Structure 1
Amino acid sequence: MRGHLLWLMVGLSFLGSLLITLAWFTLDNKNVDPHRRHLQPKGSCKNCWEDKNKVINVCSQTWKKEGKHQKSSKVEAQPPEIKTAPQVSASCKDCRKKIKKLLEFYVQDWKKDERDSRELRSQLSGRCNGSEKAIVTQTNTPLGTKLVYDGEKKRTHEVNQETFSTFPNENPFSNKTWHTCSVVGNSGIMANSSCGKSIDSSQFVIRCNLPPLLDRYEKDVGVKTNLVTANPSILWEKYGALMGRRSMFVEKLCQYDNSLLLLPAFSFSKSTAISIRALYTIEDFGSPIQPVFLNPVYLQSMALFWRPHGLKAPRLSTGFMMVSLALELCENVNLYGFWPFSVHPYNFTDLTNHYYDDKKPNVNIHFMPEEFKLLVKLHSQGVLRMHLGDCKPESFSKQKENH
């Protein structure tokens, strides 16, 4: 009797061990090391996005069901408060003359100069070659390459197998030219501008630093996005460097659909790890957005190109980098939201720094007024078109006819 009881206990113990092993095996498969993931080929995520949403609710059910124009389940920052009767800024006495002098070169009745536009595009293509070098790829950055950080010239990053596997095979801009492009800055001048339709009518739309597009912003800034940049400082400040819960970051990206997400992974040494974590996060959650890394070689050649034109700041702003890229890839370039002053150019009323908040720029790194002078000059030369103030319905109609 005792023998049978002993064998029964041994059998139950063995069965329990098997069940525990099976449970651990199942859990382990659900937590695969993200550093072993590989980039997904373009277009492969269309089905996996729907499949993963059955387990992980990346975007809200309202978003997935109704489309990108609906609000996210996460609360975006509210638009700056709009005064019913804005007052002329009392702090603008010293800046009026400066603004008026700058705007002497701003031509409202703008006309494109085909020759100057083609010449500048040709020069940029020859010296910077953004169509092949703007993005780090496995083609232009082989295994073992030592990348020099463009913001820290004395530091390098040697491309190992793990880093190499995060690069796409080729540049998404290769052999491509768009007829119309809009580069959208985030200046407070965009508030109440009604430029959304005009922006969305462009074939290719570039946005900077993950700006909010929903919750009453659509009318002024539009929703269409083909490329959006993300400064690593945003990932540190808003998303805890992606070291904890990451779903809020992924849901933020939903508003940009399957656009390119441009990360400056090799501008500063501290940006590399967090940029790669952003890429792994996007892959792990099955987001359709396509993360890519800015090429420091391209940024260095861009800085050298614009230096003779008066831009001698330690580093160009993200907005100007995107303008330079657009001038090379696009036949017609429109700028919105590029205004570096705290007052409106026409009525001198107060403006917030961004259309969604009033966080000030780092003036020690970017000399934005100097960049703005050059942009105004390019506008006056008919190379690009800068939109200041409100967008009129007739201007949208004219731009649409030119497509």
Structure 2
Amino acid sequence: MKIAIHKLLSLMLVLGVLGSFFTLLLWIVYSDSDTTPRSPPKSLKSGSADSTDCISCRDSIIEKAVEWHSHSWRRQESNNKKFRALLSGKCHGATKAVVTQANTPLGSRVVYDGEKRKPLQVTPALFSVFPKESPFGNTTWDTCSIVGNGGILANSTCGQRIDSAQFVIRCNLPPLEGGYAKDVGNKTDLVTANPSILHEKFAGLMERRRPFVEGLRPYGNALILLPAFSYGHNTPVSLRATYTLEDFQSPARPVFLSPDYLTTLARFWHSQGLPPARLSTGLIVASLALELCHNVHLYGFWPFSVHPHGHQPLTNHYYDNRESKKKIHAMPAEFDHLLRLHRQGVLRIHLGQCPANDG
């Protein structure tokens, strides 16, 4: 009986101690959660700062664009030659931007610029679709129009001026028919075609292929620049596009963007202070044009939703208001770099309308 009472008292003592401990613990937790102010998580803080910085960055770029466009633009020969020589010396776009049999031999390995660990062996079948040499050869054009798809092109009446250039580059298979020509022109010497567009518009060429061939008719015999070797999943659909154009005897000429060139070009722009994000198609073709052309004119390059002059709202593209993948590319930062080149007289950015007497 005494033993049982002793055990009971011991158990009660233990429970009492534990109860006191948990009571103290609960008081601490309750006191801390109810009376101690907590700082917001770092991620929320940085997010708010990023949002503020982004708005500040946008306003700063718009302000600079308006200010610099209030003065007559003048090409500055020394700046132009210096930057073009620097870019060409680092990237060699004229000979390396496009995959060829000359720069990518049979049996070599293609290293995807977005998947470095998954190289692709160049088989005889793959080698046969590469052009023997660069399609640009030793040609240097006097004037080039690089046409982005920004909403700022709508009602710009820039079509005639765009088409007056010797070489015209367009991005991502944009529509040219249906009343757009007066604003964007229709001459095309090179147009890019992201695989995502091939999937969205043409079912990845896994179904009927004629709509794809018909869709390229407005571009005539232009070069169709495909990023076949950015990622592994881009290669099959890019090859299907190439075979389709060959099978239907289309005048369009498919070529593949070199992953080595993309890697080198990204390194070049990072050295110029551009944030480490994937380069946009617009910046890639503008960079290529700076190597190939004495005078580079950019149209439709405006990454903001308000017009720089009239401040009226703009659609994302001149043909629709579909949201672009802004998180992948550092669009405002890219434009800021291009804007600086505009001020230095290296290239010219056209914003707004194109009067007939605008040189």
Q: TM-score, normalised by structure 2?
A: 0.82
Paired amino acid for 1:110: W
Pair 1:338-2:301 in alignment:
yes
Please tell me whether the aligned partners of residues 61 and 336 of structure 2 are also in contact (alpha carbons under 8 angstroms): no
Paired amino acid for 1:123: L
Please tell me whether the aligned partners of residues 191 and 224 of structure 2 are also in contact (alpha carbons under 8 angstroms): yes
Distance 2:245 2:321 in 1: 29
Please tell me whether the aligned partners of residues 150 and 301 of structure 2 are also in contact (alpha carbons under 8 angstroms): yes
Once the two structures are TM-superposed, the CA of residue 358 in structure 1 deviates from its matched residue by 1.0
Distance 1:157 1:220 in 2: 42
Paired amino acid for 1:117: N
Distance 1:358 1:274 in 2: 26
Deviations along 1:287-343, one digit per CA (max 9) or x if unpaired, are 100000001111111111111222223310000000000000100000000000011
Aligned to 2:45: none
Paired amino acid for 2:246: E
Distance 2:276 2:318 in 1: 25
Pair 1:282-2:245 in alignment:
yes
Pair 1:265-2:228 in alignment:
yes
Distance 1:375 1:253 in 2: 29
Aligned to 1:189: 152
Please tell me whether the aligned partners of residues 65 and 308 of structure 2 are also in contact (alpha carbons under 8 angstroms): no
Aligned length: 304
Distance 2:61 2:301 in 1: 16
Aligned to 1:221: 184
Paired amino acid for 2:245: I
Aligned to 1:357: 320
Paired amino acid for 1:391: C
Moved more, 142-151 or 105-114: 105-114
Aligned to 1:152: 115
Distance 1:118 1:149 in 2: 32
Distance 2:59 2:257 in 1: 37
Distance 1:107 1:380 in 2: 11
Paired amino acid for 1:234: I
Distance 1:122 1:194 in 2: 33
Once the two structures are TM-superposed, the CA of residue 106 in structure 1 deviates from its matched residue by 4.2
Distance 1:266 1:182 in 2: 26
Where in structure 2 are there 5+ consecutive unaligned residues? 1-54
Deviations along 1:332-377, one digit per CA (max 9) or x if unpaired, are 0000000000111111111110000111121221010000100110
Distance 2:70 2:340 in 1: 10
Distance 2:270 2:60 in 1: 26
Paired amino acid for 2:352: G
CA distance 1:108–1:286, shift in 2 (3 Å): farther
CA distance 1:124–1:201, shift in 2 (3 Å): same
Pair 1:132-2:72 in alignment:
no
Aligned to 1:170: 133
CA distance 1:102–1:219, shift in 2 (3 Å): closer
Q: How does 1:226-305 map to 2 (within 5 A)?
A: 226-305=189-268
CA distance 1:208–1:108, shift in 2 (3 Å): farther
Please tell me whether the aligned partners of residues 148 and 156 of structure 1 are also in contact (alpha carbons under 8 angstroms): yes
CA distance 1:101–1:112, shift in 2 (3 Å): closer
Question: Counterpart of 2:216 in 1: which secondary structure?
Answer: helix
Q: TM-score, normalised by structure 1?
A: 0.73
Bigger-Rg structure (1/2): 2
Q: How does 1:3-402 map to 2 (within 5 A)?
A: 99-106=62-69, 108-395=71-358, 398=359
Please give the root-mean-square deviation of Cα atoms over the aligned residues, in Å: 1.4
Please tell me whether the aligned partners of residues 310 and 370 of structure 1 are also in contact (alpha carbons under 8 angstroms): no
Deviations along 1:257-277, one digit per CA (max 9) or x if unpaired, are 001000000011100010000
Question: Counterpart of 1:287 in 2: which secondary structure?
Answer: coil
Once the two structures are TM-superposed, the CA of residue 105 in structure 1 deviates from its matched residue by 4.1
CA distance 1:270–1:345, shift in 2 (3 Å): same
Paired amino acid for 2:307: H
Paired amino acid for 1:375: L
| 4+ aligned runs moved over 6 Å, structure 1 | none
CA distance 1:106–1:150, shift in 2 (3 Å): farther
Once the two structures are TM-superposed, the CA of residue 197 in structure 1 deviates from its matched residue by 0.4
Paired amino acid for 1:268: Y
Please tell me whether the aligned partners of residues 106 and 376 of structure 1 are also in contact (alpha carbons under 8 angstroms): no
Question: Counterpart of 2:357 in 1: which secondary structure?
Answer: helix
Paired amino acid for 2:102: T
Question: Counterpart of 1:331 in 2: which secondary structure?
Answer: strand
Distance 2:74 2:114 in 1: 37
Where in structure 1 are there 5+ consecutive unaligned residues? 1-92, 399-403
Once the two structures are TM-superposed, the CA of residue 97 in structure 1 deviates from its matched residue by 5.9
Aligned to 2:16: none
Question: Counterpart of 1:393 in 2: which secondary structure?
Answer: coil
